[in-house]
Chains A and B, each alone.
Chain A
Amino acid sequence: MKTKKAADIIFAVFFTIMLLLTLFAEDLYCLTLPKVAVEAVERRGFPDGTIETDGVVYDKWRTVPAVPKAALRGDFGDMVYAVNETEDGTFLVEYYIVTGEEAEGYVEVKSGIFTKTKVVVGSDRDIYGGQRVLLTEMNESVALHTARERGEDITSHAAVMGNRLKIDILCVVGAALTTVGVVVLCNRFCKGRWRFAKVPVLILWCILVCLFLRATVLLPGEWIPGKLIDWNGWKVNMERFPI
């Protein structure tokens, strides 16, 4: 009888985990991908000296392709990450460019990249060429990491992320407590002829909790879920804790 009970428990736990993973593994995988904010390379006006007509001096402008200064990376500031959107996902491609003058946060591109190409202006964690990424808006998580990368003051970003993290923790704790409540209620009411309902109710509840967490919890980008599976990863994440 004890073996049967153990089998019941292993069966329920194993297949619930497999079911939840089947439903949410792709979402979890997306959580592990870096989120990047992008901006397209566009033609912009740059000052090109002055011109004098009828004794009046005018500013002369030339329109050339330009990238945001935030997109420049590499030791010599001559490399940008562009995104290549394919059926298999969005991947980063390194482009080495020849830059020219700088104006209003944009840098002239003399050669190396075409206009309309989307270049990365911020990411929520360290990125490298060839990596798969997800496109996002410039949110607090991206801004925090970008500021950290540039050695800027991160206090305001960290405060926002810290509050966000507190909400996340509250959501997780709330979900865990209500789950305990549901288990207790199930044990109390799913008896006799309603015994069969216990496992389906719990599986359904687990799916609902996962949907809720997916909709509400936003892990800080600098927390890499892929690293939460061993102790060293936890340490790395704790060191990067944004508060």
Chain B
Amino acid sequence: MKKFLVKSVLVLCALLFLLPILLTVVHSFGTQSVDEGNFRLTSLMPSGFSLVGYYDLLIEHFYVLRNFWNSVFYAGSITCLNIAVSVPAAYAFSQAKFKGKELLFFFYIMLMMMPLQVTLLPNYIGLRDMKLLDTPFAIVLPSIFAPFSVFLLTQYMKGLEQSYVEAALLETKSVFRIMLQMIVPQLRTCILAVFVFVFAEYWNMVEQADIYLKRETLKPLSGLLAIGEGLTTSEVLAGSVIFMIPIVILYLYFHDSLEVGLESMKL
């Protein structure tokens, strides 16, 4: 009986977490009464079924599709470039021996802990001086060097058997060859987990787009939906559902790697 009660409470908690998503999905198929101020959290079902939100968003405000592809471009390019930079950096932190390594890693962690708002202004000034504001580089460039993935990969690499690296060093002196042919294959699950984390983080970015970009044509979908300017409630709800789908696809593809990766990182 006690077990049943505990389970019920846990299921209820899980449902509470899912409630906003459920309401978003259900009401995105509602009629336009949502826009007439009739939208209530208590009304689980919309007054009628209609695709009007999707129609208005994707056909009448078709410019939103351009923002969707912006999101795909930003999140995709940032994730790939971030991983390309993070793997060598993590290799250096975990395998290389140099003075001040621990101090540098400590700064990396400090940078990771800082809220985004702290780094927004320095980044803005840097981008302004490089005349990169209001260009896609303003979004992509600072994000490539985000420390989170370096931290995760370093933690994972520290757990690798040192004897493998030492054995490889007997074969070749090329650090890149060791990294690419020996370390990276072992990091596969961790890299996939990092891929999911970084992609999700930059898929959902709002502040950077709002601060660094002025042109609506360059903004990602997340930035547009967060402001919701010129969109009705039903359009924003429909946009939110469309916005969720790529992340769901990503999770379906990589959920195994995500679980294994997190487990092996002891996170």
Contacts and interface: CB of A to CB of B under 8 A. Distances in A.
Contacts of A28: 59, 62
29 contacts: A4-B252, A6-B252, A7-B252, A7-B253, A10-B245, A10-B248, A10-B249, A14-B246, A18-B69, A21-B58, A21-B59, A21-B62, A21-B65, A22-B65, A22-B66, A25-B58, A25-B65, A26-B62, A28-B59, A29-B60, A32-B59, A226-B55, A226-B59, A229-B50, A229-B52, A229-B55, A230-B48, A230-B52, A231-B49
A231 B49 CA distance: 8
A230 B59 contact: no
Interface residues of B, number: 23
A22 B68 CA distance: 10
Most buried by A among B31, B55, B255: B55
Contact of B59 (A6, A18, A29, A231): A29
Nearest to A10: B249
Interface string A9-35: 011001000100110011011001000
B188 to A, nearest CB: 16
Interface residues of A, number: 19
B62 A11 contact: no
Given A22-B69, A29-B62, A14 B245 contact: yes
Interface in B63-81: 65-66, 68-69
A6 B252 CA distance: 8
A158 to B, nearest CB: 28
Contacts of B66: 22
A156 interface: no
Given A22-B65, A229-B51, A11 B59 contact: no
A25 B31 CA distance: 21
Contacts of B248: 10
Interface of A: 3-4, 6-7, 10-11, 14, 18, 21-22, 25-26, 28-29, 32, 226, 229-231
Given A4-B253, A10-B248, 11 more contacts: A3-B252, A10-B249, A10-B252, A21-B58, A22-B68, A25-B62, A32-B60, A226-B55, A229-B50, A229-B52, A230-B48
A243 to B, nearest CB: 26
Contacts of A14: 245-246, 249
Interface of B: 31, 48-52, 54-55, 58-60, 62, 65-66, 68-69, 245-246, 248-249, 252-253, 255
Contacts of B51: 229-230
A184 B245 CA distance: 27
Contacts of B252: 3-4, 6-7, 10
Most buried by A among B48, B50, B252, B255: B252
A115 to B, nearest CB: 35
Contacts of B49: 230-231
Contact of A18 (B52, B55, B68, B255): B68
A184 B66 CA distance: 33
Contacts of A26: 62
Contacts of A226: 55, 59
Contacts of B59: 21, 25, 28-29, 32, 226
Contacts of B253: 4, 7, 11
A170 to B, nearest CB: 25
A11 B178 CA distance: 35
Contacts of A18: 65, 68-69
B236 to A, nearest CB: 17
Contacts of A22: 65-66, 68-69
B227 to A, nearest CB: 21
Contact of B31 (A11, A21, A32, A230): A230
A10 to B, nearest CB: 5
Closest 8 CB pairs between A and B? A25-B62, A7-B252, A230-B50, A229-B51, A22-B65, A229-B55, A7-B253, A11-B249
Contacts of B255: 3
A134 to B, nearest CB: 15
A154 B213 CA distance: 55
Nearest to A231: B49
A26 B58 CA distance: 9
Nearest to B53: A229
A32 B68 CA distance: 23
A26 B66 CA distance: 12
Nearest to A4: B253
B63 to A, nearest CB: 9
A230 B248 CA distance: 27
